[in-house]
Amino acid sequence: GALSPTPATFCAQVETFAKGILALNEDYASVPMKIFMNRVLVQRYKEGYRALYGNNTDFKGATAYIQDNEMLQVVGSSAMAGRSRIWATPAENIHDLQFRSTRPNSFDIQAVDRQVKLLTDMWRGFGVSRVEEVFANEQV
């Protein structure tokens, strides 16, 4: 359903999302998994974690993990800014795809009409090997 604006309720929703993944296959309990969301939602999750479990429960940055389970890590992504989607996949399923120029520090500098453009050859994206291991809420 819709994500709660209340931090404690939102934290519980994320934990329910994680439990749903583990309920599908108990083998995921021992597989490192990242749960991606926008950075504002990560902050809301951390506030909710402290509200539910107390301020003195985060000695080792535990709020980055679901109920202190070091296999399930909450990760913020700037690419998801403004989105309400939460998705998760095993860490080994994520691949950093990139093309770098054979001359990585070379830039083409163009100056026209008092505007400067810096050009280089590079692209970057992320992909997954097994789409059946990508779990998401229905929010877009």
Q: Residue 102: its pLDDT value, please?
A: 63
Higher pLDDT, 106 or 25: 25
The mean pLDDT of 13-31, rounded to a whole number, is: 89
pLDDT tens by residue, 49-100: 888 887 766 555 556 778 767 788 898 988 888 888 999 999 899 887 766 6
Specify the pTM.
0.74
Mean pLDDT, residues 14-39:
89
Per-residue confidence (pLDDT) for residue 14, from 0 to 100: 92
DSSP characters over the chain: -PPPSSHHHHHHHHHHHHHHHHHH-GGGGGS-EEEEE-HHHHHHHHHHHHHHH-GGG-TT-GGGEETTEEEEEEEE-GGGTT----EEEEGGGEEEEEEE-SSTT--EEEEETTEEEEE--EEEEEEES-GGG-EE-S--
Mean pLDDT of 130-135: 90
Highest mean pLDDT among 15-24, 50-59, 99-108: 15-24
pLDDT of 139: 58
